[in-house]
Structure 1
């Protein structure tokens, strides 16, 4: 999608503070961090929302979580703990319609979230 900001980041058209990249996944620091560590983990292929996943995407979703866990270790937040979040649609807080996982840590997370 030419108008999707995350697609443009994944294609290298818009610079990002990239912390991980492979053929399927890109991870970069959020421009508006909500915690000391706030990284977005995205599939390079455009998928608008969690609702748009197919059964064939199950491995990709697992990979997003695996990358997040590796980055938590790399960022030094794995032992104390961290949060991963995928927002879906307006009531779920999604503001960019390209599937993305938030990795948040480096501070105590409150509960309930929201």
Structure 2
């Protein structure tokens, strides 16, 4: 994982080098903005400032950063007047990524999505995984890593 990639559109946005993107939120780790092809009234992208290629690249040690990413998405949605109970949080899964930079989709209300959007952002399909699915994956990795460490210390 590299710090930044000048060829990456999301790195340029995260570094405030794109004059056409209106930033809704930023801190030292993340930047949030509207999706250019919104699937619902509220459709935001939360991107990492660090260039991480996609969610498949995340490891057990990234769990805390991942949790902050989700919390940022929740905050952006709340600040925009969206409702968490009506939202879908998730990631396109490689090779079905349009931009090779980790970005969380925050979409609300799900019921307002048209047929094509429901297909593109279909929960836990081959091409789109929910934040809950990803969280469980990272927690499982972390537990397996802890188990291996424990087993090695018992040798």
> Contact (CA 8 Å) 1:36, 1:107: kept in 2 or not?
no
Q: Does 1:44 align with 2:32?
A: no
Structure 1 counterpart of 2:91, from 69, 78, 86: 86
User: In 2, Cα distance between the equivalents of 1:46 and 1:7?
Assistant: 7
2:11 is aligned to 7
**TM-score normalised to structure 2 length:** 0.65
* Structure ranking higher in helix proportion: 2
Aligned CA distance change for structure 1 residues 59 and 34 (closer, same or farther; 3 Å): same
1:98 is aligned to 101
Number of equivalenced pairs: 112
Unaligned runs of 5+ in 1: none
Aligned CA RMSD, in angstroms, stands at: 2.0
**After the TM superposition, which of the residue ranges 22-31 and 80-89 deviates more from structure 2?**
80-89
Work out which of the two has the higher radius of gyration on C-alpha atoms and give 1 or 2.
2
> Contact (CA 8 Å) 2:83, 2:109: kept in 1 or not?
no
Unaligned runs of 5+ in 2: 126-155
